[in-house]
Amino acid sequence: MPAILPCERDSDLRRRIVNFLHQRHVPSLRTIEVDVQEGVVTMRGGVDSFYHKQLCLNCCQRVAGVVRLVDEIQVN
C-alpha cells in the first residue's frame, strides 16, 4: 500500500471539513475559508452570529484528523 503524503491528508481533511460545514445548511458557514497544514486547521471569514461561529468551530473539532484549530472567524 503506498504511503499517503501529508499534502494528500491535508487535502482530504479540508474536503471533509468543508462538506461537514455545508451539511449544516447555514449560508454563512459556506463562505468560511478552511486552510489545512499538517493537520492544523485555520478557519477564516465572517458569520452572522456567535452561535454560527460556535457551530462552525464545533463541526471542525469533530472531524477526525484535526490536530489543532486556529480560529480567525469574525461575527458580523
Q: What number does CATH give the domain 28-76?
A: 3.30.1340.30
Q: Where are the domains of the chain?
A: 28-76
The tens digit of pLDDT for each residue in 4-16 reads: 667 789 999 999 9
The tens digit of pLDDT for each residue in 24-49 reads: 988 989 999 999 999 999 999 999 99
Query: What pTM was computed for the model?
Result: 0.87
Helix axes 50-61, 6-22, angle to 10 degrees: 140
The tens digit of pLDDT for each residue in 49-76 reads: 999 999 999 999 999 999 999 999 999 9
Among residues 60, 73, 64, the alpha carbon closest in space to that of 31 is found at: 73
Confidence bin at 3 (pLDDT 50/70/90)? low
